[in-house]
């Protein structure tokens, strides 16, 4: 299956049109409105009054700076405790289970609103409060269901999913604690301010965690080996594949916003990358066992890059005109590949783990050396674009400088065996490589200007320079490795592959790798790439299986822009496979179940399955983006037993 040429040309024409339209100035807040403050959900709002907990919430016109002091300020409606500054996110509602709540709501804006989410466990239709402009209402209820939730506001006549810029920050965390439970946790509320235009102009958007986008998000400070809990609330009407660097976590509960469901202990498994649905919550805990600087971030590249920043957005018509002129000068796609312009933005939080006294990093003695070259090959991809990719150097003979392998070669590492991966950058731009999911020291983790410990901070790999990533992989499993610099461009162009840690060498007749990744750079600065590859091709080579044998299928999802779905079927029959591992960690026995061969995955996730075909024949693994765009079938041929006469 290929892309119709017509569609590609259409998209390119659109790209040229878009580039000619200037951005227009952002809306500005009315003079004199209150400035919203941001906060980290550490101090519960309200006060005890006669055996009840009283909370007085106003909705006010406000001005908010979602990024730095010199970045744009935008108008919003915000929640404020009566008599106090408006807050993004709204004031924290946190009480013990059984608390009788008395909430006073006042709408000081000039728009009719609907407020909801204050009474978790109550049906949505019973849990909304109509609030006309200028109106005040009192509601009283008891909070009975332990968990993580959020309250919200929307313009009357619209729903949570309709919110655009003005009402998008009307969100506040709700946490109901079991009596005596620890409240030492971190509550992270994701929101976005989104302004689309009717004309063919780039939209304006900023995505934030607790009111700020990277690099202005609040850094979470942890102590080595001091276990912690995150409560994550997604008020954005989009999925996010959230990734924790360096550590595995266990999901303790998953919520819909109004209902929070604990995960039984036997079904809690280790993972490091999970999709959070729109308006859902997730609560997980982890042990930060290795000190240094780590990240928790969205693994959709365009939720953690220049797409989701207002920095540089025009604030007046002069700036808009200048920006339009520079766009024209660069052409439709002229600056997409310049890593020098790139920095992370949006849905990224830093985590700093302070070392225990006397901490010493494990020494990497007697390491095996692997030489990994980062190179490019012009005109290799469907668009005629340059492919970026990896190639392994074996022995003394140096691979051609314009050779790349798509996807990157499988890096085969042995558990507990130290390795020195010498990454040589033969690109004409900087790069950086992240070993996704490996529990290693921070310094080789590969986040430019962040990974490291104390003053020993890693930078990036300059053109013609090398970096030695030295570590000892502690766990056998399936992982991605990929660029962590200018991710959207570099990963879509091919800088990704599978890294497999084993105890014993793999039997390649029974152990198969399926890597789903990018197939070409985005065509427009703010749009996703419509191209994908399975095992480096749009028509991937068939897998060859043997009847009656157990086969391990290792699936790596590393397309930076899309959720993908994989379904293995034979006509209308869906195969059955046994789940073995997720994100490199073996599943608990209770989860190693036989199930239909269907899985949805976000970028950065891996899943291992065991498949035992019982009859010869042909299966097809249907690989597609969940949202739209592309479909790639992978044929799975099941041959007779070796030595069989039939």
List of residues contacting Cu ion (CB under 5 A)? 240, 298, 300, 303
Q: Please identify, using beta-carbon distances, which residue of 166 and 299 lies nearer to Cu ion.
A: 299
Q: Looking at residue 160, what DSSP letter applies?
A: G
Pick the closer one to Cu ion by CB: 429 or 583: 583
**Helix, strand and coil in the chain, % to nearest 5:** 10, 45, 45
If the CB atoms of residues 65 and 299 are measured against Cu ion, the closer one turns out to be: 299
Q: Is residue 287 a contact partner of residue 247, using CB atoms and an 8 Å limit?
A: yes
Partners of residue 130 on adjacent β-strands? 114
- CA gap 530, 96 in Å, rounded: 48
Q: Judged by CB, which is closer to Cu ion: 150, or 458? A: 150
The CA-CA-CA angle for residues 161, 71, 215, to 5°, reads 80
To the nearest whole angstrom, how small is the minimum distance from the Cβ of residue 507 to Cu ion?
A: 38
* Identity of the residue, 39 or 299, whose beta carbon is nearer to Cu ion in the bound complex: 299
Smallest separation (angstroms) from Cu ion to the CB of 238: 6
Q: How far is the CB of 303 from Cu ion (least distance, A)?
A: 3
Between 186 and 240, name the residue whose CB sits nearer to Cu ion: 240
Q: Are 22 and 327 in contact (CB under 8 A)?
A: yes
Sort strands 564-570 and 617-625 into parallel, antiparallel or unpaired: antiparallel
Is the Cβ of residue 232 or residue 421 nearer to Cu ion in the bound state?
232
Contacts 24+ apart (CB under 8 A), 132-137: 132/107, 133/107, 133/109, 134/107, 134/108, 134/110, 135/106, 135/107, 136/104, 136/105, 136/106, 136/107, 137/104, 137/105, 137/106
- For the bound state, the minimum distance from the C-beta of residue 302 to Cu ion, rounded and expressed in Å, comes to 8
In angstroms, the Cα distances linking 569 to 139, 596, 618, 635 are: 53, 9, 9, 10
Least CB distance to Cu ion at residue 208 (A) = 12
The span from the CA of 494 to the CA of 519, in Å, is 7
Q: Which is nearer to Cu ion, 278 or 629 (CB)?
A: 278
CB of 602 to Cu ion, least distance (A): 9
Helix (H, G, I), strand (E, B) or coil at 78: strand
**Whole-number minimum distance, CB 274 to Cu ion, in Å?**
12
> How far apart are CB 341 and Cu ion at their closest, in Å?
21
Least gap, CB of 203 to Cu ion (angstroms): 15
Alpha helices in 105-214, H assignment, sequence order: none
User: Shortest approach of Cu ion to residue 396 CB, angstroms?
Assistant: 44
Task: With H, G, I as helix, E, B as strand and everything else as coil, classify residue 642.
Answer: coil
Distances (CA, A) of 91 to 36, 88, 94, 284, 501: 11, 8, 9, 22, 46
Q: Closest distance between Cu ion and the C-beta of residue 281, in Å?
A: 15
The SS3 of residue 310 is: coil
Residue number, 275 or 372, with CB nearest to Cu ion: 275
Beta carbon nearer to Cu ion, 194 or 390 = 194
Cα distances (angstroms) measured from residue 340 to each of 34, 111, 337, 434, 450: 37, 44, 9, 19, 16
Residue at token pair 């592309």? 630
Angstrom distances, CA of residue 107 to CA of 30, 32, 157, 192, 639 = 17, 18, 16, 22, 69
For Cu ion, give the closer residue by CB, 53 or 300: 300
Give least dist CB 11 to Cu ion, A. Answer: 23
Specify the residue, 479 or 562, whose C-beta has the smaller distance to Cu ion.
562
| Secondary structure letter of residue 44 according to DSSP | B
Residue of 631, 619, 625, 624 whose CA lies nearest to 575: 619
**Cis before 407? omega within 30:** yes
Closest CA to 3 of 523, 635, 541: 523
């Amino acid at each position: 299956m290929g892309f119709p040429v017509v569609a590609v040309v259409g998209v390119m024409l659109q790209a040229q049109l878009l580039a000619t339209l200037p951005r227009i100035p952002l809306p500005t807040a009315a003079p004199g409105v209150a400035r919203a403050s941001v906060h980290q959900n550490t101090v519960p709002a309200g006060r005890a009054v006669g055996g009840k907990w009283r909370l007085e919430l106003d909705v006010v016109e406000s001005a908010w700076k979602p990024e730095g002091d010199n970045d744009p300020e935008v108008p919003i409606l915000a929640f404020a405790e009566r008599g106090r500054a408006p807050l993004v996110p709204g004031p924290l509602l946190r009480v013990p289970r059984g608390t009788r709540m008395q909430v006073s709501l006042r709408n000081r804006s000039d728009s009719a609103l609907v407020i909801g989410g204050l009474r978790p466990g109550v049906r949505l239709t019973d849990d909304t409060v109509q609030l006309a402009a200028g109106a005040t209402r009192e509601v009283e209820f008891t909070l009975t269901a332990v968990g993580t939730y959020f309250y919200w506001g929307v313009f009357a006549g619209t729903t949570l999913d309709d919110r655009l810029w003005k009402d998008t920050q009307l969100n506040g965390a709700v946490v109901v604690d079991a009596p005596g439970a620890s409240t030492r946790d971190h509550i992270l509320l994701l929101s976005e301010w989104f302004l689309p235009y009717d004309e063919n102009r780039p939209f304006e958007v900023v995505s934030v965690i607790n009111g700020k986008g990277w690099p202005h998000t609040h850094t979470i400070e942890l102590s080595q080996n001091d276990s912690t809990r995150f409560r994550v609330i997604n008020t954005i009407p989009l999925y996010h594949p959230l990734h924790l660097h360096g550590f595995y976590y266990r999901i303790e509960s998953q919520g819909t916003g109004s209902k929070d469901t604990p995960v039984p202990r036997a079904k809690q498994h280790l993972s490091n990358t999970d999709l959070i649905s729109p308006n859902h919550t997730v609560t997980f805990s982890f042990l930060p066992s290795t000190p240094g600087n780590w990240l928790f971030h969205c693994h959709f590249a365009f939720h953690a890059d220049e797409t989701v920043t207002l920095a540089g957005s025009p604030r007046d018509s002069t700036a808009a005109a200048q920006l339009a002129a520079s766009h024209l000068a660069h052409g439709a796609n002229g600056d997409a590949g310049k890593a020098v312009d790139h920095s992370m933005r949006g849905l990224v939080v830093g985590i700093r783990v302070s070392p225990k006294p006397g901490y010493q990093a494990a020494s990497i003695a007697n390491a095996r050396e692997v030489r990994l070259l980062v190179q490019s090959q012009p005109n290799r991809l469907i668009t005629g674009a340059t492919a970026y990719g990896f190639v392994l150097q074996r022995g003394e003979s140096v691979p051609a400088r314009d050779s790349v392998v798509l996807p990157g070669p499988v890096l085969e590492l042995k558990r507990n065996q130290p390795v020195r991966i010498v990454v040589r950058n033969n690109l004409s731009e900087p790069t950086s490589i992240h070993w996704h999911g490996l529990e290693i020291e921070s310094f080789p983790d590969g986040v430019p200007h962040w990974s490291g410990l104390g003053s020993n901070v890693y930078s990036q790999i300059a053109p013609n320079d090398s970096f030695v990533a030295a570590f000892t992989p502690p766990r056998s499993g399936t992982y991605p490795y990929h660029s962590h610099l200018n991710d959207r461009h570099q990963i879509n162009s091919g800088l990704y592959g599978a890294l497999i840690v084993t105890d014993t060498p793999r039997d390649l007749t029974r152990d198969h790798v399926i890597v789903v990744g990018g197939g070409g750079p985005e065509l427009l600065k703010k749009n996703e790439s419509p191209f994908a590859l399975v095992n480096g091709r749009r028509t991937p080579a068939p897998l060859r299986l043997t009847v009656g044998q157990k086969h391990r299928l290792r699936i790596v999802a590393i397309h930076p822009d899309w959720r993908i779905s994989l379904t293995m079927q034979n006509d209308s029959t869906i195969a059955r496979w046994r789940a073995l591992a997720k994100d490199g960690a073996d599943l608990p026995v209770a989860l190693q179940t036989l199930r239909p061969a269907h899985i949805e995955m976000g970028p950065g996730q891996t899943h291992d399955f065991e498949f035992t075909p019982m009859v010869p024949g042909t299966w097809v693994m249907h690989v597609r983006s969940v949202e739209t765009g592309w479909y790639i079938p992978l044929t799975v041929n099941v041959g007779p037993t070796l030595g069989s006469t039939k």
